[in-house]
């Protein structure tokens, strides 16, 4: 390194969140996960903080290993949803959330905009779709998960767009990218809907959006451009049954859930039996 100034000075080390944002164009999501062995210039700062061997250490994280699911909420019915303030995504954006469900389809988030601009993230046949329009017509990106995600397990979703108009959709560890030509700004207006919209609105949603119903399941760790909203407290309004916490199905499919070779279909509030390929009927394929 050459030049008059060759010494790098720093006054604070931040982990998990960036408070100084003047010199970056895209605000990264706050970190959710585990961190260990952090050492700067040979100084093990995390160990010193834990042991009280440092003059100043401020934290609201916890020491120890645990599965990280932050502030989960449950959408108990497909007609349940909430609305937040407009998503700020004009020049760039970075969204993160986790979901867990047994249902194959549903609208996860939607924000309309000026003219034809909009953004949607939805679940279609168990796979995540990201649909957007910056003014050049709608585009669709599909997550490349190797199997449907309605498996009652937590899944991580990242949706981002940088200043170069490169869109990224990351589902767990699998990533898809797409460069968008033409218009570069996403001019959103109105409310950001989480979990669905009013039933009468589905038929008027832009093309390429498959959802005709809301999302049923759990949502957690929602991060909107580095802002972590409290989905319940920050909601402008709520419709239906949106509750804190996440409780999965009270009853699950077992080998003997349905009789006479009926097919058990797992649903969020329990299960149902498909008796189509049998000569029986009823709730459990047991009626002649």
pLDDT at position 22: 66
Is the Cα torsion angle 21, 112, 181, 169 positive or negative in sign? Answer: positive
Confidence of residue 1 (pLDDT cuts 50, 70, 90): low
Element (H, E) at 141: strand 139-142
pLDDT at position 32: 67
Region(s) of the chain under CATH 2.10.25.10: 249-288
List the beta strands (DSSP E) in the chain.
Answer: 73-75, 81-84, 93-100, 106-112, 118-124, 127-133, 139-142, 155-161, 166-171, 174-179, 192-194, 217-224, 237-239, 242-244, 263-267, 270-274
Answering whether pTM is above 0.85, one says no
Higher pLDDT, 40 or 97: 97
Cβ-contact 268, 101 below 8 angstroms: yes
Region(s) of the chain under CATH 2.60.120.200: 73-244
**Annotation: CATH topology of 73-244:** Jelly Rolls (2.60.120)
Q: Is 208 exposed, middle or buried (0-12, 13-18, 19+ CB in 10 A)?
A: middle
For 249-288, CATH gives 2.10.25.10
């Amino acid at each position: 390194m050459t030049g008059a100034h060759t010494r790098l000075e720093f006054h604070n080390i931040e982990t998990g969140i960036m408070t100084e944002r003047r010199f970056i164009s895209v605000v990264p999501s706050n970190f959710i996960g585990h961190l260990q062995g952090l050492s700067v210039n040979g100084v093990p700062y995390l160990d010193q903080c834990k042991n009280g061997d440092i003059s100043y250490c401020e934290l609201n994280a916890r020491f120890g290993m645990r599965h990280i699911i932050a502030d989960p909420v449950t959408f108990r019915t497909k007609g349940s949803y909430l609305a937040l303030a407009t998503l700020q995504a004009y020049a760039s954006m970075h969204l993160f959330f986790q979901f867990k469900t047994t249902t194959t389809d549903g609208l996860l988030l939607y924000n309309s905009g000026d003219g034809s601009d909009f953004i949607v993230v939805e679940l279609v046949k168990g796979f995540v779709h990201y649909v957007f329009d910056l003014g050049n017509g709608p585009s669709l990106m599909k997550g490349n998960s190797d199997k449907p995600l309605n498996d009652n397990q937590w899944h991580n979703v990242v949706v981002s767009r940088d200043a170069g108009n490169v869109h990224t959709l990351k589902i767990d560890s699998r990533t898809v990218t797409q460069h968008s030509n033409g218009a570069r700004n996403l001019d959103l207006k109105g409310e950001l809907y989480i979990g669905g919209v009013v039933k009468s609105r589905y038929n008027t949603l832009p093309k390429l959006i498959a959802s005709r119903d809301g999302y049923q399941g759990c949502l957690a760790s929602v991060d909107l451009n580095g802002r972590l909203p409290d989905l319940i407290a920050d909601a402008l309004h709520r419709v239906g049954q949106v509750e804190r916490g996440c409780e999965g199905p009270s009853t699950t499919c077992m080998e003997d859930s349905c009789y006479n070779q009926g097919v058990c279909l797992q649903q969020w509030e329990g299960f149902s039996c498909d008796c189509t390929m049998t000569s029986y009927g009823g709730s459990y394929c047991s009626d002649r």
